[in-house]
Amino acid sequence: MKQNLSWTKTQRQFGPGIGFNWLGFLGMGGHYAHPPTYYPLHDPCYPALDDSAGWKALLDELTRLRPGFLRFGIPADPHIDAQGKLFTNTVHLQRLERVAQWAAREDCTILLDTFLLPSRYEIPEPTDGSFQFEGMYQLAASDNRALAREFIAPFLHHIVRKRKLGAVKYFNPVNEPLCYGVYQTINNQPDAYVHYVAMYREIREALDAVNSPSIFPVAGAGISGYWERYALFCGARRNAHRWFLRKVRESRDAEIRRKRH
């Protein structure tokens, strides 16, 4: 029997289909996490903002491929300084705007991913040199509430409400947390997974407070095998799922105790 594999724009729904990672920021200068020499971001990014022919070719090809989902990587540090001032006129946001405008026309959903937390909010490393880590790493936020209310909520509010980039519908704050060195605490104090879950709660509350309900975090490591090994490492020898649920409950109970005091 002959099958018709064509479809119209109005038929598309968010679901199974083609999607891409858009990670141009990995070639736009600076470095990824710590130490600075571990993962330099020196490869050139194409196309440049002033390359109109390059952008036309790229977006025309995207239109031909018709992806239903894009994960757009955007670095956190260029958008907030050490004093907490937000910057919203960066090359990264200009590139996002072009992609998001295309996505709105073509009914494509964007997940915005900062990959790392702003350095400003990291747990301070001990000055006595007691913290040692081989490889790439970043510490968790010392204050989840400050991270959510001072950076994430205003940043997303600017993108969705002020720039009106409606194709941006999802947000993820950390790429592959707890998988290798990214998102950890000193000697696991506080418990890194409980702290991670609490971060999402703070983000949700902060977004609701600025009336940005169209953006909501999505939890996900991206590489489930890492999470399974992490659960086993932490004592969940038979049922990683139950271990994760227990950690979620611990995070909730810790938040209840915090609010009572």
* pLDDT, tens digit, 9 for 90 and up, residues 158-207: 999 899 999 998 888 998 888 788 899 998 899 888 898 889 889 888 98
Whether cis (ω within 30° of 0) applies to the bond prior to 35 is yes
The mean pLDDT value of the chain amounts to 81
- 244 lies in some domain: no
Q: Average of pLDDT values for 129-140?
A: 88
Q: Residue 252: what pLDDT? A: 67
Q: Residue 250: what pLDDT? A: 73
% of residues, the chain, pLDDT over 90: 40
- 179 lies in some domain: yes
Q: How confident is the model at residue 241 (pLDDT cuts 50, 70, 90)?
A: low
How far does Cα 95 stand from its chain's mean position?
A: 17
Inform me whether the pLDDT recorded for 60 exceeds 90: yes
Inter-residue contact 70 to 112 (CB < 8 Å): no
- 9 lies in some domain: no
Q: Residue 244: what pLDDT? A: 59
pTM: 0.79
Q: Average of pLDDT values for 125-153?
A: 91
Q: Residue 92: what pLDDT? A: 93
Q: 171 has which bridge partners?
A: 112, 217
- 38 lies in some domain: yes
- Tally of structural domains, the chain: 1
- 236 lies in some domain: no
- 5 lies in some domain: no
- 235 lies in some domain: no
- 234 lies in some domain: no
| CATH number of the domain where residue 67 is located | 3.20.20
Distance, in Å, from the CA atom of 141 to the CA atom of 155, rounded to the nearest integer, reads 17
Exposed, middle or buried, 155 (CB in 10 Å: 0-12/13-18/19+)? buried
Q: How confident is the model at residue 23 (pLDDT cuts 50, 70, 90)?
A: confident
- The domain in which residue 105 lies consists of 16-222
Q: Residue 17: what pLDDT? A: 61
Inform me whether the pLDDT recorded for 88 exceeds 60: yes
Place of tokens 């289909």: 17
For 139, phi and psi rounded to 5 degrees? -85, 160
Inform me whether the pLDDT recorded for 14 exceeds 50: no
